[in-house]
Structure 1
Amino acid sequence: MADGPMVVLSDESQRTSGEDARSMNLEAGRAVAETIRTTLGPRGMDKMLVDQGGNVVITNDGVTLLEEMDVDHPAADMVIDVATTQEAEVGDGTTSAVILAGALLSNAEDLLDDDIHPTSIVAGYRHAAETVIDVFEDMATEVEPDDIDVLEQIAGTAMTGKGAETAKDLLSSMVVSAVQAAVRDDGTVDQDSVVVRQFYGGSIDDSEFVDGVLFDIEPVNQNMPRSREDADVLIYEGDIEVSKTNVGAEATVGSMDDLQGFVEREQSELSDKIDKILDAGADVVVADGGIDEYAADLLAEAGVTAYRRVEDEKRQRLAQATGAERVGDLDLLTADHLGYAGSVSERVIRDMTVRRQADHESTTVFGDLPTEGVGTILLRGGTEHVLDEVERAVVDSIGVVSAAVEDGAVLPGGGAPEIEASLALREEADSVEGREQLAVEAFAESFEDGPRTLAENAGHDAIDALVDMTARHDAGDVNVGIDADTADLVDMFEDGVVEPLRVKTTAVDSAVDAATMILRIDDVISAGDLSVGDDEEEDGGAGGPPGGMGGMGGGMGGMM
């Protein structure tokens, strides 16, 4: 047998091993964090993302930036998953979570340079994470679901720096009202019942919370009532039209009498359908399919308001809100299938310029509904980019207020939890044996990166801020954080800067998971095709390296 190494990989395969693999992955992870670092905090800067088609997104929302960027490195994708997890779990704190992950990777690289084995670093990081969670839980303050003042502070903190500050008080109040209305009997929040709608025109101050659901639909007949009270609502999963004949069937009309008879039979069929709707007592009909013009005339004469070709999502939402049962066969229709709306009215919300460009000039509002927790946050704004950013801020606020209501625990903002955790970790490191102690100390240093960035983005001296905050916390002022406007150290609860406990704990968990996963990788090999089953055909067969091995791409892709 010939001497020499056995060749296992194909000539097209790429492989990076050992220190080179770790260095490449650590660099990619840090690059992601550096990209969004300047967006952190109330004084954070915005980013403009432009795709090849010229579409523009302007935002400083961490998860939006990372999702829209064209990232071309698998390790970088792992760090982006940190933001995705944070967004899914709590809705805010994505930038902080990614910055923490980047700091953990950066400090881990220094330890690797000192010949600390990745396994020791991972063990130290895991130990430190458990300590941090305990610290956060100990310093958390209870909040009640009906504590409107604190909940509005939480909502306002999530909106700060995201383009919604000019109307922060108004929007915060709307968010709290919406979340409180969506609390279930078991104490959880049904966030799906809170809908955020954009209406171009006007200013942010014109935004409002509507107790009900809004649809851009108009009655099928102009003579139908546009406003009514105490309405029984039918959700019909079909069309009110003449039954279709078999494909290829033909009807031969030999005289005007035959034609008249044919028309009368069609009208009789439609009349039967309308009679069944009227006998059930429906005042409003929301149909999946079309509504014949003759049927619409009959409904209008009977004083019934009808809407046709309403999307499934809207029908489902309206059924849940009104308590209606979706009906697919009018022969089975009874009054028990109908829902109820205390009011059905038409509002003209958009301004004249926008109405000319919209598919619908008016909006139908179903209000005074029997189902609790159904509401719509109606956002107004002068431009598309402004409204998009305000909506992102409001959605984040809904997430954090929901988390606070469900968990009943909040923390001060302004970097206070991070400094407190850093002090606790440095003390804890003294009791940790072996090289894991160095990893715990590195974790403590990583936690200081958040407050440091917060101060830098506000234009203040980061070193002075860290030194002063550390001294105050060491003296027992655990709630003291940095005021981004004045650089003063103040009690964050008194300053109204409050965050749910879940924002911090989720950020720690996801950041540590990503950092330790990357640290444990010592070999990067391009795979031919990682798909299984039917995915192979859909993906067009075997592919190249997963996401590329070269680094981060230069373009911005996938614009919203």
Structure 2
Amino acid sequence: MSKQNQTGHDYDDRLTVLHTNVNAIKAVASAVEGTLGPKGLDTMLVDENGQVIVTNDGVTILEKMEASHPAAKMLIQVARSQQNEIGDGTTTATVLASELLTEAVNQVNRGVPVAKVIAGMKKGIDYAIDLIRSKVRMIADLSESSLRQVAYIAGREHEDIAELIIDAARLMTKEKLLNPEYKFAESIMAYEGTENELISGLILSKKRMNIQMPKKLINANILVIEDAFEPEDIDDEALGTEVGFRKYLEYKAEFQKNLVKIPLLGVNVIAVDRGVDPLAEEYCIDHGIMVIQRLSRQDLKRLVEHTGAKTIKRTGLHKEVEELKAYVGHAEEVLEDQMLQKIRIIGGKGKPMATILVGASTGEIVEERERIAKDAASSVQAAIRGGYVPGGGAIEFWAAREIEKLIEQVQGMEGHGLQVVATALRKPMAQIIWNAGFNPLEKLEEVKVAQNKQKKDSLGIHADTGKVIDMEEVGVIDPSLVKIHALRAAGEIAEAILRIQTIIKMRSVDHD
């Protein structure tokens, strides 16, 4: 075979790999794009055992769907990253990635080198992100009505959920919500048969250790033991010796002395991250003390933060009573919720904390309402952190038009990569229009004319009437961080797929 033919053959192989990967990406995107916008429909997921999930949530669809192609798995991982980082926008990231790759393949088929497409695409995405950032509206105060609109839109227009989320946000401090380590969505719990409720406190996924312990305590003083509530350990080998056995008896006697200090501290709730000695259990029953054992590290951390307690090891119980008082936290009320079979901690003296209970009549509906509430909470926190922009695909469509102006100033073939981004940025609005039952070509042209005439970045299409409206004026707004991260994530997966020139199956690992 001649060198020229060999080169042509290699090029054809690369195109085949590219088309295969892009088709896999498009197949994944087609599973979620129908859920986009207020008129988006639900997807039913069915497993081999007949278990059914009905959802509109993009990341749930992606994580639960069966995907065997490597490129499809890469896209799902990107969506998962979007969910972990921002908590919302997975469908947007997926749809953008698919459209970027679809248009990139069109450019490559026209003869544009992949390297030029990638270079222009990266430039276009950076420019689009800068454009979106330049249009961000910041939220100065948690009482702003725009914050409720963010919750309402991200919460798929569920009024009750939006109200719960906003009330909970206002219960927290802005400082808390700005903390990147704090995930507002983690404050949401959903249970079948319960009513919606906002709790000024937290819920621990545990019951009291023994039903003979009190189930409700007012003005609770709380001791948090980050250890076992037991005498100090003696290993079995040492216990078999006379010295070891004597040491065991000393530890046990010391532990009994320490138990006597607990009522002197006024403690009536003890939270432990490990097990509890039977002697300690009996003592607490006799003295009206509630014990909650085997709490997770996360629950212990939340409990300490809310009640103002300080964690202590079992060896720390050797301290004098006056010194131990500094470790005791306080809550207005601690009770075991009989229906939920969980412990409520209400009105801690430490940092304010909110728990959002979301209820519904059936398990399937509860799960979906939990997902909706988590999306709304994540979007509210993202809006507080990074502000908001017009929704409904309006800001992306405006950015696409601005990128097309930039193309006119770019020399060389990188302009084709910029065009890839401009085309992809129209996709969210086009898909929302399609899902609403209108013709995207016709409606996008109407938006283009209106944005040009009115010089506004917030114009889009009303999903009910098909008319051009100002998305910001009607309260259709999205957190800017959702948009920015989705576009960046889509660009990263698109570039990664475009750079793959061949697929090689790895050999099996020999475990002999």
Normalised TM-score (structure 2): 0.86
Of residues 309, 327, 330 in structure 1, which corresponds to 2:312? 327
Written as runs of structure 1 = structure 2, the 5 A alignment for 1:354-393 is: 360=341, 363-393=342-372
Of residues 485, 491, 496 in structure 1, which corresponds to 2:470? 491
Of residues 98, 106, 109 in structure 2, which corresponds to 1:113? 109
Of residues 44, 66, 69 in structure 2, which corresponds to 1:73? 69
Q: 3-state SS of the aligned residue for 1:230?
A: strand
Point out the structure with the larger helix share: 2
Structure 2 residue aligned with 1:191: 182
Relative to structure 1, the CA distance from residue 294 to residue 142 in structure 2 (aligned partners, 3 Å threshold; closer, same or farther) is closer
Residue 165 of structure 2 is aligned to residue 175 of structure 1: yes
CA-CA distance at 1:86 after TM superposition: 1.9
Residue 393 of structure 2 is aligned to residue 454 of structure 1: no
Written as runs of structure 1 = structure 2, the 5 A alignment for 1:61-210 is: 61-160=57-156, 165=157, 168-180=158-170, 181=172, 183-184=174-175, 187-188=178-179, 190-192=181-183, 194-202=186-194, 206-210=195-199
Structure 1 residue aligned with 2:244: none
Structure 1 residue aligned with 2:47: 51
Residue 446 of structure 2 is aligned to residue 463 of structure 1: no
Structure 1 residue aligned with 2:243: none
CA–CA separation in structure 1 for the residues paired with 2:61 and 2:121:
27
More displaced 10-residue stretch of structure 1: 302-311 or 102-111: 302-311
Structure 1 residue aligned with 2:489: 510
Residue 330 of structure 2 is aligned to residue 345 of structure 1: no
Q: 3-state SS of the aligned residue for 1:411?
A: strand
Structure 1 residue aligned with 2:8: none
Structure 1 residue aligned with 2:459: 480
CA-CA distance at 1:525 after TM superposition: 2.0
Structure 1 residue aligned with 2:293: 308
**Native 8 Å contact 1:239 1:290 kept in 2:** yes
**Native 8 Å contact 2:308 2:329 kept in 1:** yes
CA-CA distance at 1:430 after TM superposition: 0.8
Relative to structure 1, the CA distance from residue 373 to residue 403 in structure 2 (aligned partners, 3 Å threshold; closer, same or farther) is farther
Identity between Structure 1 and Structure 2 (%): 28
**Native 8 Å contact 1:183 1:190 kept in 2:** no
CA–CA separation in structure 2 for the residues paired with 1:457 and 1:4:
51
Q: 3-state SS of the aligned residue for 1:438?
A: helix
Relative to structure 1, the CA distance from residue 424 to residue 280 in structure 2 (aligned partners, 3 Å threshold; closer, same or farther) is same
Relative to structure 1, the CA distance from residue 228 to residue 315 in structure 2 (aligned partners, 3 Å threshold; closer, same or farther) is same
CA–CA separation in structure 2 for the residues paired with 1:176 and 1:59:
23
CA offset digits 1:300-359 (Å, max 9, x no partner):
443322233444443333123222222222324722222221221343445xxxxxxxxx
Amino acid aligned to 2:431: T
CA–CA separation in structure 2 for the residues paired with 1:66 and 1:222:
43
Query: Number of residues paired by the alignment?
Result: 489
CA-CA distance at 1:378 after TM superposition: 0.8
CA–CA separation in structure 2 for the residues paired with 1:185 and 1:311:
21
CA-CA distance at 1:142 after TM superposition: 2.6
Structure 2: unaligned runs, 5 residues or longer = 4-11, 241-248
Written as runs of structure 1 = structure 2, the 5 A alignment for 1:401-440 is: 401-407=380-386, 409-440=387-418
Structure 2 residue aligned with 1:357: none
**Native 8 Å contact 2:17 2:501 kept in 1:** yes
Amino acid aligned to 1:19: L
Structure 2 residue aligned with 1:29: 25
Amino acid aligned to 2:50: G
Amino acid aligned to 1:368: G
Structure 2 residue aligned with 1:258: none
**Native 8 Å contact 1:183 1:189 kept in 2:** no
Q: CA RMSD in A?
A: 3.1
CA-CA distance at 1:71 after TM superposition: 1.4
CA–CA separation in structure 2 for the residues paired with 1:88 and 1:218:
30
CA offset digits 1:152-209 (Å, max 9, x no partner):
100111111xxxx4xx22322222333341533794355346521122104xxx2121
**Native 8 Å contact 2:223 2:328 kept in 1:** yes
CA-CA distance at 1:223 after TM superposition: 4.7
**Native 8 Å contact 2:270 2:289 kept in 1:** yes
Amino acid aligned to 1:340: H
CA–CA separation in structure 1 for the residues paired with 2:180 and 2:496:
32
Q: 3-state SS of the aligned residue for 1:495?
A: coil
Structure 2 residue aligned with 1:550: none
Structure 2 residue aligned with 1:286: 271
CA-CA distance at 1:17 after TM superposition: 3.8
Written as runs of structure 1 = structure 2, the 5 A alignment for 1:205-216 is: 206-216=195-205
Normalised TM-score (structure 1): 0.79
More displaced 10-residue stretch of structure 1: 44-53 or 378-387: 44-53
CA-CA distance at 1:24 after TM superposition: 1.5
CA-CA distance at 1:294 after TM superposition: 5.8
CA–CA separation in structure 2 for the residues paired with 1:232 and 1:511:
50
CA-CA distance at 1:51 after TM superposition: 2.2
CA–CA separation in structure 1 for the residues paired with 2:283 and 2:131:
69
**Native 8 Å contact 1:319 1:339 kept in 2:** yes
